[in-house]
Amino acid sequence: MKKSIWLSILIGILLLISIAMIGLWLINRGMTPNEHRNMDMGTQDEVLVLKEDKGEKLKPLELPKILAPSSKENNTTIYDIEAKSGEALIKSGEKTRTLGYNGNYLGPVIRLQKGEEVTFRTKNSLDEETSFHWHGLVVPDNVDGGPNQIVQANSEKSVNFQVSQDAATLWFHPHPEGKTAKQVYEGLAGLIYIEDNNEKSKDLPSDYGKNDFPVVIQDRNFTADNQFDYETDQNSDGTQGENLVINGTIRPYIEVKYDKIRLRLLNGSNAREYKLKMSNDTSFTQIATDGGFLEKPATLKSIRLAPGERSEIILDVAKEKGETLELKDGNTNVLTFKVADSLLLGPPIPEELESPEVTKEIATDKVEKIELSGMGTMVRIDGKKFDKNRIDKVAKQGEERIFEITNQDDMMGGMNHPFHIHGTQFQIVSRNGKEVTENERGLKDTVLVAPNEKVQVKIRFTQKGLFVYHCHNLEHEENGMMGQINVI
């Protein structure tokens, strides 16, 4: 009797072990080598280690053109923006087949004034659908360019809106469901600068390409004949490359002729995070986050940038005349500065930056929970994958609320998710109940949420319509880590 009970328990245990093993085998079958590496390490860090491409010579940093208006009709400034394919000399040797806006790779800088009315005449000259999304721009849903505003191949679409927000460094990129990650990887991304009177009154470095530089940081892989090969490099936990490409330049440098230079940093990578610092370990000054100026400048020795995030920093090189410095991510050089022997001196960085009109005070106890979870193809928001026919949340225009974003740890350790929401800017209240550091207190549209972290943000939708929110690890977005909020 006793013997048979023990026997059944033993058989039961063996059965459970074999079911678990079959389950693990099934999960493993669908994984790429990188995903296996992730499993071993428990994080997405260093899936591909960045290398500084010593085979390439130092080259001047490529500077995108400032987009000139095509015309002005009535009170509207009209800009033409075309998504097209091309080729660019990024790595020495053969040219790389690329995508770009109005050019071969990346896009121009679109400079807008607060209060101005603009029309973007967008044209899709690709052989597949795309969309034109203005990341961080506070506009109604029908001009936002999200996955519901597709522009078919070889067609055009005009959008018209009023620029209503304060000075900020925003960006634009495609957003078609299932094709965003590949189109961005191949080159579709550009910067938008919003300027206002407050910014002009602050006397900040603003001479484009002289003491005010766009810095679009991306990581890419190249085949032996210098091509991007998105399909092969694609990783369901975020596609990473081992070469850093800054504004389309490998190993870029800037000749610095001013004592203070402003860098408008954008992490335009699909999935890689950066922790940037100076080679001589000096501190720098952060003046802006995603959505505009900090109330007061913040002094930092390093800054973390997740995919989609922007940060404006000012370097003071007055003590480094004649020297060469680097902005680094770990041991890899991001950007080299050749500081001139004599420097033009600019005014000090102002102590107050933010426009007095910015109203961040949101008094509400209405908490809306958002739960991020999973890795690879298993990523979800609130347990669900994206369905463009489903509305996940509803908000009232003008209503204030707190979004409490959690990142559920899982058996594999979880992943960092940069959470982005369209059509508005928000303010981070706390991480795990603690106040955030001063450099995260500006307006944001993308916030990094680490495993087991709980981030509260204050949010108010001023624009109406159906907006998406998603993980800005673009492969997670493609894997369905996206939801929709209807603002009525």
Beta pairing partners, 218: 245
The neighbour count for residue 152, using CB atoms within 10 Å, is: 13
Q: Is 417 in the site for Cu ion (CB under 5 A)?
A: yes
Q: Is 318 helix (H, G, I), strand (E, B) or coil?
A: helix
Candidates 24-32, 128-136, 174-182, 413-421: pick the segment binding Cu ion (CB under 5 A): 413-421
Q: Residue 26 gets which letter from DSSP?
A: H
- Measured in whole angstroms, the distance separating CA 119 from the mean position of its chain's CA atoms is 24
- Measured in whole angstroms, the distance separating CA 285 from the mean position of its chain's CA atoms is 21
Q: Is 327 in the site for Cu ion (CB under 5 A)?
A: no
Q: Among residues 247, 473, 479, 484, which is the contact residue for Cu ion, using CB under 5 A?
A: 473
Minimum distance from CB of 470 to Cu ion (Å)?
Answer: 8
Nearer to Cu ion, 249 or 473 (CB): 473
Binding mask 26-65 for Cu ion (x = CB under 5 A): ----------------------------------------
Q: Quote the CA–CA distance of 165 and 384 in Å, as a whole number.
A: 33
| CA separation, residue 211 to residues 259, 263, 315, 412 (Å) | 9, 8, 10, 45
Minimum distance from CB of 440 to Cu ion (Å)?
Answer: 19
Q: Are 62 and 90 spatial neighbours (Cβ–Cβ below 8 Å)?
A: no
Nearer to Cu ion, 145 or 376 (CB): 376
Q: How many CA atoms lie within 13 A of 334 on its CB side?
A: 22
Q: Residue 280 gets which letter from DSSP?
A: T
Nearer to Cu ion, 455 or 471 (CB): 471
Quote the radius of gyration of the chain (alpha carbons, Å).
23
User: Which position has the token pair 């961005």?
Assistant: 184
Task: Identify the CA nearest to 311 among candidates 446, 109, 164, 210.
Answer: 446
Minimum distance from CB of 136 to Cu ion (Å)?
Answer: 19
Nearer to Cu ion, 243 or 473 (CB): 473
Q: Among residues 471, 474, 485, 487, which is the contact residue for Cu ion, using CB under 5 A?
A: 471
Minimum distance from CB of 231 to Cu ion (Å)?
Answer: 21
Q: Is 401 in the site for Cu ion (CB under 5 A)?
A: no
Q: Is 370 in the site for Cu ion (CB under 5 A)?
A: no
Q: Is 482 in the site for Cu ion (CB under 5 A)?
A: no
Q: Are 457 and 444 spatial neighbours (Cβ–Cβ below 8 Å)?
A: yes
Q: Is 476 in the site for Cu ion (CB under 5 A)?
A: yes
Nearer to Cu ion, 237 or 259 (CB): 237
Total number of residues that touch Cu ion (CB under 5 A): 4
Candidates 60-68, 192-200, 292-300, 411-419: pick the segment binding Cu ion (CB under 5 A): 411-419
Candidates 34-42, 179-187, 190-198, 412-420: pick the segment binding Cu ion (CB under 5 A): 412-420
Candidates 2-10, 262-270, 399-407, 416-424: pick the segment binding Cu ion (CB under 5 A): 416-424
Minimum distance from CB of 375 to Cu ion (Å)?
Answer: 8
Minimum distance from CB of 481 to Cu ion (Å)?
Answer: 5
Angle at 467 between CA 461 and CA 468, to 5 degrees: 125
Nearer to Cu ion, 91 or 417 (CB): 417
Residues of this chain that bind Cu ion (CB under 5 A) = 417, 471, 473, 476
